[in-house]
Structure 1
């Protein structure tokens, strides 16, 4: 049985599934609708098949019933016949979902992922300078990447430039798991409340909009 965890929050639920089973085992455990059968046929690689199945089995586990995921043209996921919002993320080890009444975002990344070659493409120069002066620069780069991915998903916007439009405020990871960020888009400054936690060799970051401070 894979590791499944359900975290209840004030503004929603986070679900975690460890991708440890074969695609065949997951297929045996899942009841496909006709639409899901057609979707699943498109996935040739086992990795993508496992992500697809684990996501839906995780949702069934934490919601207590089978719930289909549908996608808008922008690839934003929705729960069929539900007013709840959902955000989904995968790493090589885990599937994570965040379900909320509010717009929400979640991202999971392996802490050993090498993102040095793309840091200037997703970090503002001020963010990069602060991170490089830290004694935990590697983990901070991963947290900042995940934070920006989570904000991007929560915003439902497209064409966002991570280095120019999303800014993460400095925080001390030794002292707090709570931090904040801002998206500048369409003449608005949208602020976000973010949290992170470590899951084995992965970082999970999730967020909702800080409506009190957004303009």
Structure 2
């Protein structure tokens, strides 16, 4: 399908979301891949990952870029050749890209009960205000996970820990925004976090 949703957080930033309804072959027909990208997608064992990879290339085209405009550094962080900042995500049936003149990060996660089983791995301070009995517990955990994923992509520094170095302050799901802090190696940075529901998924993004 065409772009599912477009968001303009500010005049220098755009988010585009794709709902992946097409087959692998339909998505493959519509893009031109550089050799290393072709090898990568053909080497993927999961069709879900292949469709996610290709849908991201369709989103790039919607921004006016091609696969050749995108490259990855040694840490796996994506970059655009024109110098603008980009972050990429895909999860099952949704993919997303955020492009900005400033550092940025985005993540999409499916709202699933299993997040409760791994919450202790990515949450620390947040347990001070979370209540496991509240009806929105899974959604709040998913926002926290997504926020930390987005910030990890933005910060792109080896050694950064979701559990120890990223803190998400208390928030109300109805407000669709919160604040998070990165406290790492004597440097403290504040970030605005934005989130929204995409059917049974949660999208979280941040821009400096």
Both structures adopt the same fold (TM-score exceeding 0.5): yes
In the TM superposition, what whole-angstrom CA distance separates every residue of 1:91-134 from its partner, at most 9, and x where no partner exists?
1110011101111011111112511111111111x411311165
For 2:140, the equivalent position in structure 1 comes to 140
Change (3 A) 1:165 1:58: same
| Conserved? CA contact 2:33–2:67, under 8 Å | no
In the TM superposition, what whole-angstrom CA distance separates every residue of 1:25-49 from its partner, at most 9, and x where no partner exists?
1111112233432333332321221
CA distance in 2: counterparts of 1:35 and 1:109, whole angstroms:
27
In the TM superposition, what whole-angstrom CA distance separates every residue of 1:145-193 from its partner, at most 9, and x where no partner exists?
101111111111122221111100112223x112100011121001111
The answer to whether the aligner puts 1:20 opposite 2:21 as a matched pair is yes
For 1:166, the equivalent position in structure 2 comes to 166
For 2:55, the equivalent position in structure 1 comes to 54
Deviation at 1:135, TM superposition (A): 4.3
Deviation at 1:6, TM superposition (A): 2.2
Deviation at 1:72, TM superposition (A): 0.9
CA distance in 2: counterparts of 1:130 and 1:98, whole angstroms:
30
CA distance in 1: counterparts of 2:182 and 2:22, whole angstroms:
38
Consecutive unaligned residues of structure 2, counting only runs of 5 or more, are none
Number of equivalent positions = 205
| Conserved? CA contact 2:107–2:146, under 8 Å | yes
CA RMSD across the alignment? 1.7
For 1:150, the equivalent position in structure 2 comes to 150
| Conserved? CA contact 2:34–2:67, under 8 Å | no
Mean Cα deviation higher: 139-148 or 26-35? 26-35
Give secondary structure in 1 for the equivalent of 2:129.
helix
| Conserved? CA contact 2:178–2:194, under 8 Å | yes
| Conserved? CA contact 2:196–2:204, under 8 Å | yes
Deviation at 1:64, TM superposition (A): 2.6
Residues 98-113 of structure 1 mapped to structure 2, 5 A cutoff:
98-113=98-113
Consecutive unaligned residues of structure 1, counting only runs of 5 or more, are 210-215
Change (3 A) 1:59 1:157: same
Deviation at 1:208, TM superposition (A): 2.0
Give the TM-score normalised by structure 2: 0.91
For 1:97, the equivalent position in structure 2 comes to 97
For 2:183, the equivalent position in structure 1 comes to 184
